[in-house]
Structure formats: C-alpha cells, structure tokens
C-alpha cells in the first residue's frame, strides 16, 4: 500500500507523517482459545488482529461467483472453499461481514451457521470433520452491499464498485480465512449487466455476453491473501500490453482515469527494472486498475494493483515492488509489515531515482537525516513490530533510510544478492522480520546485531556509526 502523503516524505520534505489514514480495526484482547478440542480456534493469534482467521483448517482454493447489479448494489454470491482440516471439527468459522448468508453446506450437506462478533460466520457441519481430510464449504449470500471506502467494497463515481483495503477488505464481499497464515489460490466469476466491465486478479479466463448479462472469469495460479484479491466493476477502458517474455499485462481505466494510460505504458520497463533487482516476476500476468474514486491509498492487489487518481510513477514502482515484497512473499504476521513497505518504499524512493534517473540518493539520505534526526516524532514508532494500528506509518518514511544504511554497511555486493535470494526463497510463501535479520546476518561477517536493534527495535535515532555507515560517512 502507498498513501498519498508518502510522496511528500519521499521527497525529503521536512513534513511529518499524517496519522495513519487506514481505518483501524482494534484488536480485541479477549480472544480465548476454545476449551472444546473439536472447535477450530476463533483467531490464529496474529499479535495485532488475534481474531482473524481460524485455527482448525487451511484453505487451498477459493472459487467465488458473484452476480452484481450496480444500480441497486445487490450482490448475490456463492463462495466454494476447498479446505483441509488440521484437527477434528464439529464447529469452525470464516471471516465474513458481507451480505446476508442464506445457506451453508459442508461437503454438500446443509450446515448450521450463525454470525458472531464483527466479522465471524460460525459454521456447524452436519457431521464433524475428521482431522487431516479435505472438505468443501459452500456459502450462499445475497443482499445490498454497503459502501465501505478504504476498508472493502467501495462504490465508484459511475455507480460501479471495487474492493480495496489493507489489512481487511475481502470479508466485505466473500467469506474467507482472513489471515496472512493461510494463502490459497483464487478464482472469481462475476456476472453483471452487459454494459459493465469486470477486472480482477490473474488471468482473464472468459468474458461472455449472454442476453442482458456479461459473465467474466478471472483466475490466479499462485496462492494469495484476502486483502490482495480484488474485483472492480466499471465502464473500463482496457490497455493490453506484453512483457518481452510474453507475460500479458492487462490494465483497466475507469471513466475519469483514461489519462493514466501513458503512465501505465511504462509498466513493462518497471517490471524489467524490478526483475533486475529481485529476480523473475513472480506471477503469470500483471497490469493495473486505475479507479476514479477519491481513494486515500493505492494497493498492491495481486498481479494488478489498484491505483488512486493521484498515482504517479513512484506509486507504480512501489505497488509493483510489492508483487515480490508482500504478495508472492507475504508477511507472517502484521508486525512484519516492514518486509512489505520498507522494500516497496526503498525501491520507489531510492533505487528507481538512483538507477533510472541518475539521482544522488546518498545526498537525499543525508539531507533527510539532517532534517529529521532531532525530531523525536520521526523515530517514535519502531520499524519492526510498530504496534497495532501503527503498522502503516514509520515503514514508509523510515524504512527506506534503514535499507539505505544497511546497504552501505554491508556493501552492494552483499546487499543486492542477499535481498534477492531472500525474497525468491519465500516465493508463494511467507516470511518474518526475524527471519530477514538472520538471513542477512548469515551473508556477512559484519556483526549486524547492534545495527538491526538501533534501526528496527529502537524508537530513538540510531547512533552515528549506524546512521552513516561506510561511504555515507560525511
């Protein structure tokens, strides 16, 4: 994700970050593990969002079909989840706060269901599920979608809609195990009135008009997470491009976003650049979704980021860096979000300007430090484990400084191969900040423990030897 304010900070202006603009779901602290060993734990223990997900199964594939009528905002959906139980289950839950649920089946047998809390759908199968076995859950739901800008289903100026929000958004339009610990493949079939267009993640498998209706199917071959899935329904114009290796790049432009086509034409160049840093592009397709809604952020939805109207080249580089750092390799817990945002911001704010535009980024770094080292607010939020509700703050404005200092400390010849190997070795998986620290430490004889503690754990400026390592020393 990239916020509008980030660009200002990236330009080294002495502006302090605005408060996190993302509506924060306050983590409830009252989640207790169930005493019943046959009930999947309601929440997987994320330190910031302990209620997210369920401990009794993991999902392998989502097949979601929705019928959406823009004029009435009526969404009728069927979500079929292919899952594997990790324990005996007489009850489990999904995360869902979308339209009213009408029917749930487990292995095609009617199951009991009830809503609980803000986003839980508790399901009681007719027969308990044995541990280690595959099972399917089908949820049918229908109703009028609420407009939840920045946090899920969002109505666009034309009356269309799209889904976007981090860390939560998917539960507003389909039921899922909404945790970074459970990646799954995802395909989506959308039926709309024929004059509307539909774009989503991955590859477009079909686009058919039958009478008054259009049905479009999109599918991803790589596992993904809820907030990285999206659907957008609008009167889109499309731009079709290809990378030199043939990878299709499909981009969509809402009615007032057509002027962004020239920007999106640079996507092949952006992906080539990122590939030179981080290894092969991790997905089978790419592109972008340029909305014309007054959105406060752009978001790295998998293969096809959603771009707010203020998007510029920096944003395109940032969201596409996330395809490696955040999407293919996702966080283990939300406290690891520096893996996503420190790298996306460093790549867009430092590496692209340095390598593609000839900017003196060492000077940019020194100027930023000179302006902000004595400002306690700038250092107040740690990069690693920033705290629930503060995870989308310091990682944008201090993350690039951390990585630039690390690069100077260990040298380009160690830094670049190490970060590329790290992200590639976790493709289609997940990683944590502690793993990253161990991995980088293993690549060098330099003891990094003091450096990492000063830059990642502290909430005060690092000492000079860590602020100005190597040739950064004035």
Positions touching Zn ion (CB under 5 A) are 1-2, 341, 344
Q: How far is the CB of 166 from Zn ion (least distance, A)?
A: 8
Shortest reach from residue 279's CB to Zn ion, in Å: 19
Query: What CA–CA distance (Å, rounded) separates 289 from 202?
Result: 12
Separation of alpha carbons 37 and 419, rounded Å? 41
Q: How far is the CB of 1 from Zn ion (least distance, A)?
A: 4
Q: Which two tokens stand for residue 367?
A: 């100027």
Question: Which residues on neighbouring strands pair with residue 206, listed in sequence order?
Answer: 217
Q: 425 CB contacts (<8 Å, ≥6 apart)? A: none
Minimum Å gap between C-beta 392 and Zn ion is 8
Tell the smallest beta-carbon distance from residue 326 to Zn ion (Å): 7
Nearer to Zn ion, 63 or 394 (CB): 394
34 contact partners, CB below 8 Å, separation of at least 6: 40, 41, 42
- The size of the chain, in residues, is 474
Which lies closer to Zn ion via its Cβ, residue 121 or residue 431?
Answer: 431
DSSP 46-95: -SS-TTSSBTTEEEEEEEEEEEEETTTTEEEEEEEEEEEESS-BSBEEEE
97 is written with which tokens?
């706060």
For residue 368, the minimal CB distance to Zn ion (Å) is 19
CA dist 51 and 32 (Å) reads 10
If the CB atoms of residues 274 and 344 are measured against Zn ion, the closer one turns out to be 344
Nearer to Zn ion, 2 or 151 (CB): 2
Residue 1 or 27: which CB sits closer to Zn ion? 1
**Structural contact between residues 174 and 96, judged by C-beta atoms closer than 8 angstroms:** yes
Bridge partner residues of 104 (DSSP): 139
Minimum separation from the CB atom of position 429 to Zn ion (A): 19
Output 97 or 345, the one with its CB closest to Zn ion: 345
In the complex, minimum distance from the CB of residue 348 to Zn ion, in angstroms, rounded to a whole number: 9
* Nearer to Zn ion among residue 93 and residue 336 (C-beta): 336
Task: Say whether 397 sits in a helix, a strand or coil.
Answer: helix
Q: Is the dihedral of CA 162, 168, 174, 178 positive or negative?
A: positive
| Residue nearer to Zn ion on the CB measure, 2 or 190 | 2
| CB 70, CB 233: distance < 8 Å | yes
Tokens 């995870």 locate to: 391
């Amino acid at each position: 994700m990239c916020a509008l304010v980030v660009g200002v900070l990236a330009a080294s202006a002495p502006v302090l970050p605005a408060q996190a603009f993302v509506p924060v779901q306050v983590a409830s602290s009252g989640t207790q593990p169930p005493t019943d060993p046959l009930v999947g734990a309601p929440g997987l223990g994320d330190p910031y969002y302990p209620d997210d997900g369920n401990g009794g199964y993991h999902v392998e594939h989502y097949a979601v079909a929705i019928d959406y009528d823009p004029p009435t905002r009526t969404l009728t959906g069927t979500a079929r989840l292919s899952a594997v139980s990790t324990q005996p289950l007489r009850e489990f839950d999904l995360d869902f706060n979308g339209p009213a649920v009408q029917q749930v089946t487990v292995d095609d047998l009617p199951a009991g269901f009830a809503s609980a809390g803000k986003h839980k759908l508790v399901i009681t199968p007719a027969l308990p599920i044995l541990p280690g076995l595959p099972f399917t859950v089908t949820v049918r739901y229908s109703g009028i979608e609420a407009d939840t800008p920045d946090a899920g289903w969002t109505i666009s100026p034309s009356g269309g809609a799209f889904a976007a929000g981090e860390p939560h958004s998917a539960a507003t339009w389909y039921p899922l195990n909404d945790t970074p610990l459970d990646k799954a493949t995802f395909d989506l079939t959308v039926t709309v009135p024929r004059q509307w267009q539909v774009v989503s993640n991955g590859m477009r498998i079909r686009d058919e008009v039958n009478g008054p209706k259009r049905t479009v199917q999109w599918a991803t071959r790589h596992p993904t997470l809820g907030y990285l899935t999206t659907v957008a329904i609008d009167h889109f114009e499309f731009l079709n491009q290809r990378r030199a290796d043939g990878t299709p790049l499909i981009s969509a432009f809402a009615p007032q976003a057509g002027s962004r086509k020239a920007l999106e034409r640079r996507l092949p160049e952006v992906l080539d650049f990122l590939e030179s840093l981080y290894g092969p592009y991790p997905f089978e397709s790419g592109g972008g979704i340029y909305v014309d809604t007054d959105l406060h952020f752009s978001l790295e939805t998998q293969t096809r980021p959603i771009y707010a109207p203020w998007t510029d080249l920096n944003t395109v580089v940032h969201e596409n860096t996330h395809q490696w750092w955040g999407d293919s390799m996702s966080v283990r817990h939300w406290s690891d979000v520096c893996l996503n945002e420190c790298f996306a911001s460093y790549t867009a704010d430092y590496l692209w300007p340095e390598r593609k535009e000839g900017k003196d980024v060492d000077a940019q770094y020194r100027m930023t430090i000179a302006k902000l080292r004595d400002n306690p607010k700038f250092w107040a939020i740690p990069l690693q484990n920033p705290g629930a509700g503060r995870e989308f703050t310091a990682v944008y404005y201090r993350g690039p400084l951390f990585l630039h200092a690390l690069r100077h400390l260990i040298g380009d010849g160690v830094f670049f191969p190490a970060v590329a190997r790290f992200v590639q070795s976790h493709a289609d998986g997940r990683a944590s900040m502690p793993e990253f620290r161990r991995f980088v430490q293993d690549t060098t004889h330099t003891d990094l423990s003091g450096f990492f503690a000063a830059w990642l754990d502290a909430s005060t400026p690092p000492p000079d030897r860590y602020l100005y390592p190597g040739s950064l020393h004035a």
